[in-house]
């Protein structure tokens, strides 16, 4: 089979090609190379490196979509080096992987493993072989490349997402943070819950700091846009309402709020046009009492009194999570082109709940086979045992698909399946 793209002059260029194998799937070659190359490089650099006639930005997305949506399953196809190919061949362990090849050559020939199959597989080391033998999830890479193709690659100097540039959200103020890594982890926690304004008061490791960008794990727009202030007072200069976080009790006449109460108060003030900020102290000893005194209120997180200290990123995450929870703007997990929002409750994976007809059909199937095998024993016991069985299975709240699976299980137990099938 072949998967082709059409050039502007109408010519067909094959992108996935191969031949049928003994296990059925078609072994692709070019498509796997396209996905891997574009995953590791920018789109333009990758296309230049591939140099496939007719493969351009305009013709690329349909090719990637074939892989991203795993249309290969319906076509009984797979690419060499893809995890789906390994699964299709029934290879479930490293031993089976080696056995499926004629020879596995490690470290340029310093070590060789003989198998019972055909072909030679090259690995850089035993560690690399152990880590990579199942294959790569090429469809996942393809989805990333599609996002890169549509939205571009975010550079260090790129502006932060417009949705996060919102003065109607509180600013996070870190007072003399001691480790750049912690600042990066704070940035990640902020980005998780849609807060982007980070203010730093005299960071010990200096600023900017590449270690903070690394620890941010993708939330680099928060790090790159962070504002640095020489003094605590300067960082709060334009804020109308400030809350200070602490785990220690303070001898100050100030409101003490839980995270939920603090966020509720800030949301009310922000709605009235005020600017709000949440202040976090040093990793070693938190905020000084004279700094807490400048705040309008104290925020204390409910914790086990025997171990009340949270690290810096944890503290920010608790407040940021509460902000997101009350704003109602979050989703359960990520949402991408191929992943829709998840709602709380049982995830039925697109299958509807089983109907009474589905369940009664299953009961008749199950009870008929149990009758045949003498499971119920005496006639007197049968009604109560049937009642108990039906009550148990109805309590599952099974989907249509699950009922079909249950009926398949009964059939397999009675008649066998595959090599276990009865003559």
pLDDT in tens, 250-282: 888 899 999 999 999 999 999 999 999 999 999
The predicted pLDDT at position 25 comes to 38
Residues 142 and 199 reside in one and the same domain: no
DSSP-derived 3-state class of residue 175? strand
> Is the backbone of residue 280 left (phi > 0), alpha (psi -120 to 50) or beta?
beta
Residues 275 and 177 reside in one and the same domain: yes
Is residue 339 in some structural domain? no
CATH code of residue 284 = 3.40.1280.10
| Domain closes at, from 288, 307, 327 | 327
The predicted pLDDT at position 278 comes to 97
Is residue 341 in some structural domain? no
| Domain closes at, from 110, 125, 150 | 150
Residues 302 and 197 reside in one and the same domain: yes
Is residue 192 in some structural domain? yes
**What's the total number of domains in the chain?**
3
CB-based contact 194:163 (threshold 8 Å): yes
Residues 312 and 172 reside in one and the same domain: yes
Residues 169 and 279 reside in one and the same domain: yes
11 to each of 2, 16, 355, 391, how far by Cα in Å? 14, 16, 51, 63
Residues 252 and 133 reside in one and the same domain: no
The whole model's pTM is what?
Answer: 0.53
Residues 102 and 24 reside in one and the same domain: yes
CA atoms of 54 and 334, how far apart (whole Å):
34
CA atoms of 361 and 400, how far apart (whole Å):
12
pLDDT in tens, 303-355: 888 888 889 999 999 999 999 888 876 666 665 555 556 666 666 566 778 89
Residues 139 and 173 reside in one and the same domain: no
- Mean pLDDT estimate for the chain: 82
Domain range for 392 is: 356-420
Is residue 95 in some structural domain? yes
The predicted pLDDT at position 179 comes to 93
Pairing between β-strand 2-6 and β-strand 111-114 as defined by DSSP bridges: unpaired
Residues 32 and 146 reside in one and the same domain: yes
């Amino acid at each position: 089979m072949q998967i082709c793209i059409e050039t502007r002059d109408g010519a067909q260029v094959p992108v996935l090609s191969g031949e049928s194998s003994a296990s059925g799937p078609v072994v692709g070659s070019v498509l796997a190379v396209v996905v891997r190359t574009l995953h590791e490089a920018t789109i333009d650099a990758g296309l230049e490196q591939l140099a496939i006639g007719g493969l351009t930005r305009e013709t690329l997305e349909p090719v990637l979509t074939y892989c991203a949506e795993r249309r290969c399953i319906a076509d009984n196809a797979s690419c060499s080096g893809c995890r789906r190919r390994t699964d299709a061949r029934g290879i479930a362990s490293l031993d089976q992987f080696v056995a499926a090849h004629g020879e596995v050559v490690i470290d340029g020939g310093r070590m060789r493993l003989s198998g019972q199959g055909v072909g030679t597989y090259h690995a850089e080391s035993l560690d690399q072989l152990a880590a990579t033998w199942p294959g790569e999830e090429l469809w996942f890479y393809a989805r990333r490349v599609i996002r890169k193709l549509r939205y571009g690659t975010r550079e260090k100097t790129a502006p932060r997402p417009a949705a996060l540039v919102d003065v109607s959200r509180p600013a996070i103020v870190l007072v003399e943070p001691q480790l750049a890594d912690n600042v990066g982890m704070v940035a990640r926690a902020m980005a998780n819950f849609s807060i982007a304004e980070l203010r730093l008061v005299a960071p010990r490791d200096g600023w900017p700091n590449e270690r903070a960008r690394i620890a941010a794990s993708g939330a680099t727009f928060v790090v790159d846009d962070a504002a640095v202030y020489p003094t605590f007072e300067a960082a709060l200069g334009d804020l109308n309402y400030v809350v200070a976080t602490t785990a220690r009790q303070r001898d100050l006449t100030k409101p003490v709020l839980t995270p939920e109460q603090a966020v509720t108060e800030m949301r009310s003030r922000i709605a009235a046009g005020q600017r709000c900020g949440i202040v976090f102290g040093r990793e070693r000893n938190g905020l000084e009492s004279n700094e807490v005194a400048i705040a309008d209120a104290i925020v204390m997180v409910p914790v086990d009194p025997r171990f009340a200290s949270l690290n810096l990123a944890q503290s920010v995450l608790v407040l940021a999570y509460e902000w997101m929870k009350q704003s109602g703007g979050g989703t359960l997990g990520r949402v991408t082109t191929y992943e829709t929002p998840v709602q709380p409750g049982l995830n039925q994976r697109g299958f509807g709940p089983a109907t009474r007809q589905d369940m009664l059909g299953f009961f008749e199937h199950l009870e008929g086979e149990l009758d045949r095998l003498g499971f119920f024993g005496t006639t007197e016991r049968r009604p109560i045992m049937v009642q108990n069985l039906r009550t148990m299975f109805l309590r599952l709240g099974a989907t249509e698909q699950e009922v079909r699976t249950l009926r398949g299980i009964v059939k397999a137990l009675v008649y066998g399946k595959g090599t276990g099938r009865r003559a």
